[in-house]
Amino acid sequence: MKRSRKVTVLTASLVSTAAVAVGVVTAGGASAAPAARAGDALGIDVSNHNGTVDFGSVKKDGRDFAFVLASDGNSFSSPEFSKQYKGAGEAGLIRGAYHFARPGGSAAKQADHFLSVADYSNDGKSLPPVVDMEANPDGAACYGLGAAEMKDWIKGFLARVKEKTERDAIIYTSPGFWKDCTGNSEMFTENPLWVAAWKVDKPEVPGGWKNYTFWQYSDSGSVPGVSGPVDVNRFNGTVTELKALADG
């Protein structure tokens, strides 16, 4: 789905565009979290497609964090971002903003657009900025870029975020996209990994990362306070460790 994370779990080079569309419908798992370490922090991620969210109810359901879509490409700003981001903070959730990347053109320009919307503050309560690297929902899966070009674009985006925020941005991706579009690059292991892997008990970790930092384990969770299915995630650590990541 455009401007939300729904399309990258399947390996792009192995399926046609039509098959990817089918994967969007069938890839989501149950809302219950897979087995993991006791005490791992749990959270959701939302976009403009989720509309109004009652984050107080999300918090009461035992969720500890929320990621919110801020921007998409060079110019789109989520009309729900300010309300959703503020609501997450007021509910006591640790929060973070993400950008749906459209590789091609100036990576710095996209990063600047993202940061102008997200208005990131190194306040000890905000998770590092996130770049969402997934298959193009509107055309060629890798945006017409070869692996070297894709790596250069990602490098430019991350460098701009680091320059502006002094934080290493989180990279959201799936093993399929990362292999197909970056050649399974190991260049970015200093950046925390948020991996999308649904209907599995343990996610595959691509690209030389030793482990994931966040895991989006389903795109069809049921969480009080959110109307309809929602992306659900776990942090690879406790709430205390999650707060330490926000503290930088």
Residue 84 lies inside a defined structural domain of this protein: yes
Q: Return the minimum-mean-pLDDT range out of 6-15, 79-88, 107-116, 130-139.
A: 6-15
C-alpha R_g of the chain: 16
User: Can you list the alpha helix ranges (DSSP code H) found in the chain?
Assistant: 17-26, 55-60, 81-90, 107-118, 147-165, 175-182, 239-247
Residue 167 lies inside a defined structural domain of this protein: yes
* pLDDT tens-digit series, residues 169-198: 999 999 999 999 999 999 999 999 999 999
**Spatial CB neighbours of 65, under 8 Å, sequence gap ≥ 6:** 41, 42, 43, 93, 94, 95, 96, 127, 233, 235, 242
| Active-site residue identified among 64, 132, 180, 231 | 132
Give CA–CA dist 148/152, Å, rounded. Answer: 6
Mean pLDDT in residue range 231-244: 98
Give CA–CA dist 105/111, Å, rounded. Answer: 12
Give CA–CA dist 5/3, Å, rounded. Answer: 7
> What is the reported pTM?
0.88
Residue 91 lies inside a defined structural domain of this protein: yes
Q: Residue 93 is part of a domain; what is its CATH number?
A: 3.20.20.80
Residue 5 lies inside a defined structural domain of this protein: no
Over pLDDT 70: what percentage of the chain?
85
Residue 44 · residue 226 · CB < 8 Å: yes
Residue 195 · residue 214 · CB < 8 Å: yes
pLDDT for 235 beyond 80: yes
Total number of domains constituting the chain: 1
pLDDT band at 38 (very low <50, low <70, confident <90, very high): confident
pLDDT at 27: 35
- Of 10 and 248, the structure prediction assigns the larger pLDDT to 248
pLDDT band at 31 (very low <50, low <70, confident <90, very high): very low
Residue 46 lies inside a defined structural domain of this protein: yes
Give CA–CA dist 92/94, Å, rounded. Answer: 7
Residue 6 lies inside a defined structural domain of this protein: no
pLDDT band at 23 (very low <50, low <70, confident <90, very high): very low
Residue 1 lies inside a defined structural domain of this protein: no
| Active-site residue identified among 80, 134, 219, 231 | 134
* pLDDT tens-digit series, residues 206-217: 999 999 999 999
pLDDT at 185: 99
Domain coverage including residue 19? 12-247
Residue 7 lies inside a defined structural domain of this protein: no
Sign of CA dihedral 55, 52, 229, 138: negative
| Active-site residue identified among 45, 64, 80, 219 | 45
- Identify whether 45 is a catalytic site residue: yes
* pLDDT tens-digit series, residues 95-138: 999 999 999 999 999 999 999 999 999 999 999 999 999 999 99
